[in-house]
Amino acid sequence: MSDDEVRSEIRQTASELCSQSSSLLTAGEREKLVNDVMDEAFGLGPLESLLRDPSISDILVNGPDTVYVERNGRLELTDITFGNEPHLLQIIQRIVGRVGRRIDETSPIADARLMDGSRVNAIIPPLALDGSLLCIRRFSAKPLMAADLIAKQSIAPEMIDFLAGCVKARLNLLISGGTGSGKTTFLNLMSGYIPHDERIATIEDAAELQLQQRHVVRMETRPANVEGQGQVTMRDLVRNALRMRPDRVIIGESRGPEALDMLQAMNTGHDGSMTTLHANDTRDALSRMEMMVGMAGFDMPMWVIRKQIASAVHIVVQAARLSGGVRKITKISEITGMEGDIISMQDIFQFKQTGLDSNRVAQGHFISCGIRPKCLEHLNVMGVNIQPDMFEGQSLSF
């Protein structure tokens, strides 16, 4: 019997049992009770109603009695509750177990994902003092397209045209930003400009990328088991990916020594690779990259590390979540080489914030910084025609 048939039979049985108490429950109450039973048996219990709401971007559970959601960039307290702490823990273990991971007192922190790719982080007692904590970063079933971001005024059309050209011309991209700034969403968007005849290897801690190409090989890290054995790190997967004949390597997020292997891939024929990292500015992103390469354990002089970064990374894109919850691409910078021991960088586009409106939502406009990119000649050689007048130092309109 298929899963759908089992669900249908259980729903029918639950409805029949509820109908026997029709004098106690109204039709609406019976329907709600049946839905609650189905959610508890096959879904994620009280969270299912929130997961069905497309307007919710984050679900934040602070113990069994407190559940917040984010809508339109703002947090709201909901009336959703769990029966008790064991009930919440059961739901967390169900989520984690579905992707082959575990969470218990010996390993009280877990990263996982839902079947739709939504990112999950959980932490349970004794580390969580007031009840188990669960964070779910929702991802749209339909990936956002360039037109969607332009309509939201998250990026200007000229900026999209330039970055799309960079991807097609196989320049290496680094997307930086804070938590919840939209780095992964933008990485998904940029990957859409990769030609369909290229082989792409993706590497993530918890698989959440939604690439649209046909030829994609997806890999996911694995934590150690109860005995402390069997761990597969991001770095292991990056090194293995280089043996799989990829045209491009995409790392969901660089956060450790795998940054060195990523730079090696970018410098050894895997042009057009991409990754994200946490940083507050494009210049800070390079400092973060230097630090992560240093975590690889090799005693390399700083000038060697910087030279590797300068030759590997071509474009750095900064994403930010501004006041009021609006997300913007606030800066696009180009790495132009080395000046002495310093990486040389120039800003191509920028978002200038001018203030806040009456709802304390960030206001501003996009500008080109008046600098013609050094990579423009390479784009032309690769058959990507970019109009040079978009770089002439002006406000960009929608």
- pLDDT confidence band for 172 (50 / 70 / 90): very high
Cross-sheet strand order for the sheet of 216-220: 216-220, 200-204, 248-251, 274-278, 173-177, 315-321, 327-339, 342-356, 362-368, 395-396
Instruction: State residue 328's pLDDT score.
Output: 94
Tracing tokens 């500015």 back to the chain, one arrives at 281
pLDDT, tens digit, for every residue of 370-384?
999 999 999 999 989
Q: Tell me: the pLDDT tens digits for 200-236?
A: 999 988 777 888 788 999 998 888 877 778 889 888 9
Residue 115: which region, alpha, beta or left (left: phi > 0; alpha: psi -120 to 50)? alpha
Q: What is the pLDDT of residue 8?
A: 65
Average per-residue pLDDT for the chain: 87
Structure letter (DSSP) for residue 268: T
Q: Give the number of C-alpha atoms closer than 13 A to the C-alpha of residue 211, restricted to the C-beta side.
A: 26
Q: Which residues contact 251 (CB under 8 A, 6 or more apart)?
A: 202, 203, 204, 234, 238, 258, 262, 273, 274, 275, 276
Top pLDDT among 181 and 41 is at 181
For residue 48, pLDDT over 90 is answered with no
pLDDT of residue 22: 58
pLDDT at 310 over 90: yes
Helix (H, G, I), strand (E, B) or coil at 132: coil
For residue 213, the model assigns a pLDDT of 84
Amino acid 23: pLDDT? 57
Which DSSP helix (H) or strand (E) runs through 112? strand 109-113
Most confident of 16-20, 21-25, 30-34, 289-293: 289-293
Confidence of residue 12 (pLDDT cuts 50, 70, 90): low
- Does residue 3 have a pLDDT over 60? no
The 10s digit of each residue's pLDDT in 257-309 is 888 888 888 888 789 999 999 999 999 999 999 999 988 877 888 888 999 99
- What are the CA-CA distances from residue 8 to residues 14, 44, 339 (Å)? 10, 18, 68
- Calpha distance 34→92 (Å, rounded): 22
- pLDDT for residue 30 is more than 70: no
Q: What is the pLDDT of residues 141-170, one digit of tens each?
A: 677 888 999 999 999 999 999 999 999 999
pLDDT of residue 124 exceeding 70 = yes
